[in-house]
Amino acid sequence: MSEYSAIVCQIHLENGIYLTTMMSEKLGIVYQLQNAIYPCRVYADPDMVAALIAEGCTIWSIGTNEKEWDMAVDIDAHARFLRVRVKDTESMVSMVYEGSFDDFLTITPEEVDMRCNLDLVYGHSGERET
Amino acid sequence: MARLGFVTGQIRLENDVILTVRVEREFDLILLLQKALYHARIFTHPDMIAAELTRVFQVVSIGKTAKQRELFVDIDAVDEVLTISVPVDNEEAVVYATTFKTFLRDRPDQVKRQWNKVLSAIREERSSMKANEAQKEKNNE
């Protein structure tokens, strides 16, 4: 967990762009992400999807390098698919959500948040981030 | 009546991020650029300046590959300098280059005036060069 208990979420697109957002709760991040993903369903260009996410989420940094994160969202704009991973206090990475944009919009932010907290949906990936 | 035209610009940062932005006029680009850099002047990190730009501009795309656009803004966050270039005869010509400090001190109309002055000088130079070349070719014939 990062300093001051803020959740650092990194959104990664297939064009090599990393968007970083920071909020006090994962719930808020998922809520913002759903709002941002909603208009993305009509585009398959990662550059345009990146711009829409930057418009819908409070983005603190935009770069081409991965930084330390508590929550990672891998977005495949072409396939309209996303994956949410979270890191626990021991830096163990768990996949908490994987599905299409459409499916992601049908679940409630609370549900994703609950999966993040349970850390159990898909189990640990077995990778420990150093 | 509302204006239908708009200007598309590309803002390039040293972290390889290219933001494609849409503004109504070139003047608006200067104004919004000043607004974003005013907020971002305390940062010297391109990632953070890129994020600040998205809060101010209507960003249509964020990527790493350059597209052919009407004008270009190169921002060097570490050295705190910026350059504005426009295409002249399919080549990029620098019409404005300064430090963040000077850019923020100047009014947008002053910046635009300077930009226009440099641009007309470049165009004049190019056209006289073309005329000279044409004259040379004529003489050779």
* Residue A121 reports pLDDT greater than 50: no
Using a CB–CB cutoff of 8 Å, tell me whether B62 touches chain A: yes
> Are β-strands B81-88 and B91-99 bridged in parallel, bridged antiparallel, or unpaired?
antiparallel
**When comparing pLDDT for B19 and A127, which is higher?**
B19
Distance CA A21, CA B93 (A): 36
Distance CA B70, CA A10 (A): 32
- In DSSP terms, A128 is beta-bridged to A92
Distance CA B100, CA B105 (A): 9
pLDDT digits (tens, 9 = 90+) for A48-67: 999 999 999 999 999 999 99
Q: Name the E strands within chain B.
A: 7-13, 18-23, 58-63, 71-76, 81-88, 91-99
Best to test chain B binding among A32, A53, A61 (most B CBs inside 10 Å): A61
Which residues of chain B are within 8 Å of residue A50 when distances are taken between CB atoms? 61-63
pTM reported for the whole predicted model: 0.84
Distance CA A76, CA A46 (A): 8
**When comparing pLDDT for A1 and B78, which is higher?**
B78
Do the Cβ atoms of B54 and A16 come within 8 Å?
no
Q: Which of residues 18-37 of B touch A (CB under 8 A)?
A: 19-20
Residues with Cβ < 8 Å from A36, sequence gap 6 or more?
A52, A53, A55, A56, A57
A42 burial type by CB count under 10 A (0-12 exposed, 13-18 middle, 19+ buried) = exposed
pLDDT of residue B3: 52
